[in-house]
Structure 1
Amino acid sequence: MSNTYRALTRKYRPTSFDDIVSQDHVSNTIKNAIKQNRLSHAYMFCGPRGVGKTTMARVLARTINEIDTSIDGESLNQTLNIVEMDAASNNKVDDVHHLRESVRIPPQNGRYKVFIVDEVHMLSKAAFNALLKTLEEPPEHAIFIFATTEPHKVLPTILSRVQRFDFKRISVDEIVQRLRKIAIDEDISIDEESLHVIAKKADGALRDALGLMDQAIAFCGDTITHNELLQALNVVGTDRLFEFMDCVKEHDADRGLELINTLLQEGYDIQEYLIGLTEHLRNLYIAHETSKLYLVEASEETKKRYQQTAKDFSRDDLMRMLHIISEAQIKLKDASQPRIQFEITLLKLIHMERSEQLSELLAGLQELKKNSGNFVNASRNGSTRKTEQQETVAESEKGQIQERSDEPEKTKASVENSAQEIEDPEPEEEFEPEEAGYEEEDFEEEEDDFDIGAPALTTSLTKKSRAAQMKSFTNGSQEKPSGSPQKEEIKVPEKLTLEFIQEQWPVYLESLKGDFPMLLHLQMERVKLLKLKGGELYLECDNQFAKKMVDEQAMDLQKKLKECVGSMLRFNISVGTPDPSDKPMSVYERFKQIQQKDPIIRDIVEIFGAELEY
């Protein structure tokens, strides 16, 4: 049995154009050229591995020489009219010279002599040059067919002398159809999900798919089950991927770690799992749109499962997950502890907050900001009402004083005498509550007696009130009310100097906050003032990037400076040489500095736990 067995890749190699899968654009062109007798003297077949380049060359040679299908494709090389050469092992100039000698010999039987050169990009430059003349002007009976997976390595002088055909990858559905037909011919029982696993594992190469099918038959026998196939090919099944997405949905880190440990114990490769997870997340992203479900390469049952699971995640969440997995695939190549890095990556997905929760949090922050603004407005309104009440009380007291001035002449004379005594500059004449034997609380209690006309207290209280008014008038009559602050005017000198600009520079930097980007404000803080000449202010930046930023915003910055110094100055910006003693600030230190200067960024970092990716 073993002596006569042939691998599926050899047994089911196509012998006609109709048997070749998914390369109709090449097959139809060549068939039409044969019918119209317009065959070229040289062809170049390009494309990935396992898509039928060499098979197409053999079918073309068989067709034009009318060789019977009973002769196997691998036996065509034994005929005198078809010569196959592997350029990977025959890439020297001598090999090409031997080929040129063979071209001179006409075909023994048939019309054409076909030369098939596989992996032609492996030929040396000298060998290519030795082939040029023969390739450009071959005998009428000679046809060259080159096959390569890397056409960019072929010399342009060769490419310009051939007809080029690009072969495409074979789709999963086409591979599944081919495998299903072979399984029927071989009397093999295999389910639809297993066929899709083999087709996706082949990555567009039908030859690889047949090899995997052969491996599965050797492991499972005539009946191939899904679980056994996954074990044989060491492929992470969709069930494991859906199980992990359930952990992500439930934020179940313990279950996720247990699943990771099981995968590693079973011998699954970390990179293979991340590749499978990336495709799984991509399919979930597509499953959000039912009209685009044809882009998912899976069975109908699995597609429905993708649709159900996709409802648990938003597209924004899936995109963030894809970004995390993509970065992890790059980092794992250089990681000293791949397992730890792998676990951290999957735990990131599990602990990642959903977009809906972030939206609610942002809405809460906006509401908090709105409420805080209302609180400030309420405080301002309260202060205004308090001021109005104070004015009302002051008016009331003024009215009471006016009423008291209309009392009997005796009381009026007493008040006038008290006023004269107050005008005496000697300090011992000033009224103090302690001298009369009263405390401040006594005044608060005995103010009511003033209204019922107690003559003894009338003189004393009026004296205190007048004294307070006179003292306030003489000492603080020029003071401005505290409730109406006025902006201090800038005293601009007649001749603007660099020293005056340096004094006003901190005020100018403070005025930039809020009107200009924070990064520009930080760069302006590092700017040095060199000199003032005419209407130009010479500034020095510490790097070219800062100079470019200041140049772009120069007009607005000049207008802002005019508000602080009173004159419009034109900036003359240069880049200074860095001081070798100054240590450059790291990205993390710069980020920390920005947090200290900008309270909004500081709050975002504290609330969301933001980290700097570098």
Structure 2
Amino acid sequence: MSDTYRALTRKYRPTSFEDIVSQEHVSDTIKNAIKQNRLSHAYMFCGPRGVGKTTMARVLARTINEIDISIDGESLNQTLNIVEMDAASNNKVDDVHHLRESVRIPPQNGKYKVFIVDEVHMLSKAAFNALLKTLEEPPEHAIFIFATTEPHKVLPTILSRVQRFDFKRISVEEIVQRLRKIAIDENISIDEESLHVIAKKADGALRDALGLMDQAIAFCGDTITHNELLQALNVVGTDRLFEFMECVKDNDADQGLELINTLLQEGYDIQEYLIGLTEHLRNLYIAHETSKLYLVEASEETKKRYQKTASDFSRDDLMRMLHIISEAQIKLKDASQPRIQFEITLLKLIHMERSEQLSDLLAGLQELKKNSGNFVAPSHKGSTQKEPKSEDLSNKVSEPEEETPDTTTDSVPKGQKRIDSEEEIEIEAEEADPEAAESKKRSEAKEEQLEEDDDFDIGAPALITTLTRKARASVQAEKQNQNGNSEKPNTKNPAEKEVPEKITTEYVQEIWLEYLESLKGDFPMLLHLQMERAKVKKVKGGEIHLECDNDFAQKMLDEQSTDLQFKLKEFTGSVLRFNISVGEKDEKDKPMSVYERFKQIQQKDPIIRDIVEIFGAELEY
């Protein structure tokens, strides 16, 4: 190393277009413009920090004025033909007036007088306006070069008078190549993994990479090792991240807590660790696809390690982990106890159920659904009769019984005769009291609909809700197969009913259930449910007064009142206007919490109860 210290960012500043890294689209355009003598009078170089905007301006000024390479780039400002101005500290109108006076003076030697304005977006609006006329019609010897990191802050009137070039971030591999060459020139020993750590830490800025390289040399000397570099830059190494993923793989919470404690004692920032873990999970996700491995910015040895570790996790698991980490980064900013929140986040990853375990759960639920064909729904609250199990029924059907002579039918299994006898009893009961039987069937249908509505409103996980509905559909299909020959209840056509001359409250209440049944299929199910909950208070003066239990129901019924009125006309023979109001809620009608409703559904639905008991399902809310 040289005895006279000079920062690497200054020592290795490019002096030619070929030395500028990763900005070929700009340098090639400018070189062609110089060859064809088509130089513009004003350029705008835009891009993030440390990518070579000011350096490109100096190289352009050096090239068009044929300045000797022995003159350092920082010394160009001392020549009479190149003027550099920092707009961050010279942003007033007077500074622009001074610049305009300098433009009039021709170059002392050379062909052009170049004005380089750095951080031009810092100029005030008045200063920009003072520069407009000079910028639009400068002398033939004047060339303006503006550099900025925030082009959106520059006035459109300025942007329309310049040629704009957008500089891009420098890739990790290009920074690594540049650092490797500088390390050879400086006789510095450094491994590939350390070069990648510096390049990724620089975030696309070569100037930042050279500054980090200087810092590493000051800490480690001529030999830079990976562990010392991580300590010097306070960067979370890939070894620590792989170690944590081992804890996640083995569900080892104790080792995970120990690792967290070690990280915090060594002074690592929590947010920095989460950022590193996010990139680590992203690389593992990409490593599942070998053809996309070029997207992972790491050494070849680390890429192979990513491939090996990626096989321990599915892509679904990695996506869920990324979601947990991204949420934690937001929550940590406002957390009163960041360490506790940090530990909880990492423990979530460790205890998270894997996709393979969820597949086993789905297989178990699928088996449960297949067996649900033999399931007998529990009786209503008013009934105390215990339903026999499917196994008991099968045993009873298979047991030999004493045959009895039957002169009207062919020989049929005893179990079928028993079912037929039960159906006959039900038919006899319907014939004895048809109104009671019809009312019972309606109440049963309404309870089933309300149970489905509970499943919809509870907000339970989609997995449980979907499987429950499928199981219930399977049970209903089985019942329909068993009762396929049963007679459907006779319903009269509303047109055949005798309509009184004066529509009374009693008549509307009498036909109300049939009216509600007629809404099915013609109106949305949600509207039908709200109509079922509405109460008929009275009929007066051509209006039917309905009472709802909430504002939402009132608004919905008001919007659909016209269609509902014409539907009711089929039963009343005349149109009754709907007068809808919201009734006062009793204390007992106070809505239950989500968890209370979930507990209630468990009591009603044995399939959900079995899921909770067998598989340990929980409500995520």
Other-structure match for 1:167? 167
Structure 1 residues 525 and 44, CA gap change in structure 2 (3 angstroms): farther
Correspondence 1:217-256 to 2 at 5 A: 217-256=217-256
Identity among equivalent positions (%) equals 77
Deviations 1:26-55 (A, max 9, x none): 010111011111111111111111100111
Distance in 2, matches of 1:585 and 1:169, equals 59
Give 1:120's aligned amino acid.
V
Paired position in structure 2 for 1:152: 152
2:420 alignment partner in structure 1? none
Aligned 1:115-514 pairs, distance under 5 A: 115-376=115-376, 379=390, 382=393, 393=404, 395=406, 479=432, 487=489, 489=491, 494-495=498-499
Q: 1:243 to 1:132 in 2, by over 3 A?
A: same
SS at match of 1:207: helix
Residue in structure 1 matched with residue 593 of structure 2 by the alignment: 589
The answer as to whether partners of 1:595 and 1:601 remain within 8 angstroms in 2 is no
Between the aligned partners of 2:583 and 2:118, the Cα distance in structure 1 is 59
* DSSP 3-state at the match of 2:128: helix
- Find the aligned partners of 1:186 and 1:353 in 2 and give their Cα distance: 51
Residue 480 (structure 2) aligns with: none
Cα shift readout 1:145-173 (whole Å, capped 9, x = no counterpart): 11111111111111111111111000000
1:605 Cα deviation from its structure 2 partner:
7.4
8 Å contact kept, 2:543–2:579: no
Equivalent AA in structure 1 for residue 173 of structure 2: D
Matched residue, 1:84:
84
Secondary structure at the aligned position of 2:84 is classed as strand
Shift of 1:336: 0.5
Contact kept in structure 2, 1:538 and 1:571, CA below 8 Å: no
Q: What is the rounded CA distance, in whole Å, between the counterparts of 1:360 and 1:116 in structure 2?
A: 67
List per-residue Cα deviations over 1:480-522 (Å, max 9, x = no partner).
Answer: 9999787475796534777666677789889999999997777
CA contact (8 A) 1:83 1:114 kept: yes
What is the one-letter code of the residue matched to 2:618? G
Q: Deviations over 1:171-197 (max 9, x none)?
A: 000000000000000000000000000
Q: Displacement, 1:395?
A: 4.4
Matches within 5 A, 1:42-81: 42-81=42-81
The amino acid that maps onto 2:344 is I
SS, match of residue 263 in structure 2: helix
Distance (whole Å) between structure 2 residues aligned to residue 382 and residue 395 of structure 1 = 23
Provide closer, same or farther for how the CA distance between residues 56 and 373 of structure 1 changes in structure 2, counting only shifts above 3 A.
Answer: same
| AA at the equivalent of 1:611 | E
For the residue of structure 1 that corresponds to 2:56, the secondary structure is: helix
Q: Write the distance in 2 (CA, Å) between the matches of 1:235 and 1:34.
A: 44
CA-to-partner distance for each residue in 1:66-105, whole Å, 9 max, x for gaps?
A: 1111111111111111111111111111111111111111
- Paired positions, count: 532
SS in 1 for 2:114: strand
Indicate if the aligned counterparts of 2:544 and 2:578 stay in contact, CA closer than 8 A.
no
The 2-side partners of 1:373 and 1:72 are apart by: 87
Q: Which moved more, 1:88-97 or 1:487-496?
A: 487-496
Q: For residue 428 of structure 1, what is the aligned residue in structure 2?
A: none
Contact kept, 8 Å, 1:61 with 1:82, in 2: the verdict is yes
Counterpart amino acid of 1:125? K
Question: What amino acid is the match of 1:158?
Answer: I
Aligned to 1:610: 619
Secondary structure of 2:215 counterpart: helix
Is contact 1:530–1:540 with CA below 8 Å preserved after alignment? no
Q: Distance in 2 between matches of 1:321 and 1:68?
A: 57
SS at match of 1:249: helix
Structure 2 equivalent of residue 17 of structure 1: 17
Task: Measure, in 1, the Cα distance between the counterparts of 2:295 and 2:354.
Answer: 26
Q: 1:249 to 1:491 in 2, by over 3 A?
A: same
For residue 393 of structure 1, report the CA deviation from its aligned partner.
3.9
C-alpha spacing 1:477/1:244, structure 2 compared with 1 (3 Å): closer
Distance 1:279 1:33 in 2: 41
In angstroms, what is the RMSD of aligned CA positions?
A: 4.8
TM-score normalised by structure 2 residue count: 0.73
CA distance in structure 1 between the aligned counterparts of 2:376 and 2:339, rounded to whole angstroms: 53
CA contact (8 A) 1:544 1:575 kept: no
Q: Is the 8 A contact 1:15 1:73 kept in 2?
A: yes
| Cα distance between partner residues in 2 of 1:92 and 1:234 | 41
- Report Cα offsets for 1:414-440 as digits up to 9, x if no partner: xxxxxxxxxxxxxxxxxxxxxxxxxxx
**Residues 46, 150 of structure 1: 8 Å contact kept:** yes
- Quote the residue 2:413 is aligned against: none
Give the number of the structure whose alpha-carbon radius of gyration is greater: 1
Q: Where does the alignment leave 5 or more consecutive residues of structure 1 unmatched?
A: 397-471
Map of 2:5 onto structure 1: 5
Residues 147 and 357 of structure 1, relative CA distance in 2, 3 Å threshold:
same
